[in-house]
Structure 1
């Protein structure tokens, strides 16, 4: 079972969604596997066996596909945040988390440890969502303003109908292309070009069911031909589209 919960109005520019996944215990001793695709989102997650917290982790955004053993727990709850909001929500530069795992305690110290205790003590999913929602709203209210022009540019890049043009985006931010690239990378943890590619891939994953064929979905997501789509998909998912969708049922 997989469930997506949208963020509240106050967090929607910084949080993509809350999510919850659960599965039944394997009777044939098959080890569950978690497949990670490339993503512009960082995740704070809490894994449970029944009502007992097994672990909590922070997973940074990444341009790479990966797979991990997922044994020892039967449900996982978390929140996915935009990489450019990491300085506001967690007081950490995006580059410091790119492609990395750590614990909430390592990321936030005592505050992270208290958050883990609070989430572990909640009785059900709605209560855990409220707990994490309140924590993020408090962090956001305490945060500095951030680089709003670059954040606005990143949000534009994520729209499939917007064609990426480095010089045009730099000009809108009153920056030279090199200045824009440097500040964009510092803000998101990705170069502008790589951010555009990963965003296009994520849009296709989240919206492909709206279209009759994958080719139609690829064109609507901004891919200019089939080979372009296949090349990026293999890089960011770790396998071909056919293999990925057969494995995941996404």
Structure 2
């Protein structure tokens, strides 16, 4: 058997749910005094699946704790059957987990679980994103006054923006801190959660509605600084520029923003 054919046969065996062994694969192997071929192949088959399940448990630890070992493994195994690993890096294994949950759980279960999957996957995306060139207070201090009105911004590459309708952050924190796991409940007022990486550490925080709207205008509607102040004037009146500068300073200190050049 050629090497390529042997590799394909071994791959087919690993991916086969029933662990059906290719005859040519078996014939190409030699057992040892304490381990026959069939047992050795079974160990590889189980170890491969076990490794994939370990990756999903690591990427979605809150869902794992929420569902428990047995139910999580059933869900994850069903996901792997439909979405076998197709990338050389296991980092992308859980990419479709959110959509799988949405499509394969009844609506009453899928909505909070889907939101949690999106939250946990956002931490993975934030951690692996390029560093970018976040603005600093020092760099902002060098701007000339004439540059401020038309100043525009864009998010750092790691910034993830989530709309949470459930208490997903509370569940995630309880799993992270190994505290008592609360019940999943819908929020009276949905919130915006930001997740990003700064200095190799993933950060998160939720935003009140007014701040979320201001940051959304800045990043998603391409407001410049003067347009931000004009929008805030509706709420804050003459205090709009001060509020704009206060939030802008916070966003820059958090490491959320890059300068947008046109």
TM-score, normalised via structure 2 length = 0.28
Task: Indicate the structure with greater strand content.
Answer: 1
TM-score, normalised via structure 1 length = 0.29
Task: Indicate the structure with greater helix content.
Answer: 2
Bigger CA radius of gyration: 2
